Structure 1
C-alpha cells in the first residue's frame, strides 16, 4: 500500500521547528485547536479540531529531539506518522510520512476500496501540506494563516 508524504523547507533551525510541532502552545497556532499536553517520549495526547468537532488520540512511539518523532493515531491502534526534521544550510526540511495502510476492512486506520484508499491518501497529503505551509508562515513570518481551520469551512460545527 502507498504511504502519504509531504515535506517543505522551513527557514528556521531544527530545534525551534521541532519544538513547534511538539509544544501545543505553538502547534495550536497552525494545526489543531486544543491538546491535552506536549508530545514527549511515550506520551498519549488528545488533539482536537474544535471547528470540525473532531478529536484524535495519538501515542508517541519514538522521540529523538530534534531529529524526529513517530506517533500512532487512533489511540495507538491507527496509522503511523513520522515527522523528520532534517537540517540544511537554509533551515530545516520537515517531512511527514503516514504509513500503515492495509486496505483491509479490519484496518483500524482505514477501510474501503482501492478508490477509497486513493481518495484518503490524496486528502491526507493535502492536509499535511496545509499544516506544513501554515507552520512555515508562522515560524518564518509570524503569520497565523488559519489554513487548517479554513480548509473545509462547510464542515465547521
Structure 2
C-alpha cells in the first residue's frame, strides 16, 4: 500500500551569517519585524501563543510555539483554527561558522483541489519572500519592505 503524499511547502536559502544569528532573527521580534511581520506580542518560547501582525494589511495570525531546539529548529502551529491550522518548521543548519542554511517547511493543509493548490502557491511565495528579506537584512542591513510591498492594492491609505 502506497503512503499518501502530504502536501508540503519547502523554501530554503543560504544566509551568510552564523547559525546563532539567523536563529535569533526568528526568535526575537525586534529583528523579525525588519523582514517579515510588523508587530508581535512577544519573543518565541516553547508553549507560548504569540500574535503576529501585518499592520499594513490589517491582519494578524496566532501561532503556538510547539518546539524550539536552539540553533536547529523552531516548530509552530499557525493560526489555530480547525480549518486553517498548519504546522511551520524553521530548520537551521550551520554549513560553516559563518553560513547557515535555512529551510522553512509548511504542512498540514486542510484544503483540497484548487483550494489546496492556491494555499500551497501562496505559502511558497510568502515564505520565499520572508527568506529573501531575511537575507537582505542580515547580510546587508537593508530592510527591503518585501512583505509590506507585496500587495499594495490591499493596503488602506
Residues 110, 116 of structure 2: 8 Å contact kept: no
Aligned residues: 148
Secondary structure (helix, strand or coil) at the match of 1:15 reads helix
In 1, Cα distance between the equivalents of 2:154 and 2:110? Answer: 28
Shift of 1:6: 0.4
Divergent runs of 4+, >2 A? none
Tell me which residue corresponds to 1:67.
72
Tell me which residue corresponds to 1:109.
none
Tell me which residue corresponds to 1:37.
42
Tell me which residue corresponds to 1:26.
31
- The answer to whether residue 94 in structure 2 is matched with residue 87 in structure 1 is yes
Residues 59, 76 of structure 1: 8 Å contact kept: no
Give the gaps of 5 or more residues in structure 1: 104-112
Shift of 1:41: 1.4
Tell me which residue corresponds to 2:154.
155
Shift of 1:114: 0.7
Residues 44, 75 of structure 1: 8 Å contact kept: no
Give the gaps of 5 or more residues in structure 2: 1-5
- TM-score w.r.t. structure 1 length? 0.90
In 1, Cα distance between the equivalents of 2:114 and 2:62? Answer: 27
Tell me which residue corresponds to 1:102.
110
Residues 41, 61 of structure 1: 8 Å contact kept: yes
Where in structure 2 are the equivalents of 1:137-152 lying within 5 Å?
137-152=136-151
User: What per-residue deviation string (whole Å, max 9, x for no partner) do you get for residues 51-76 of structure 1?
Assistant: 11110010000110111010001137
Shift of 1:19: 0.3
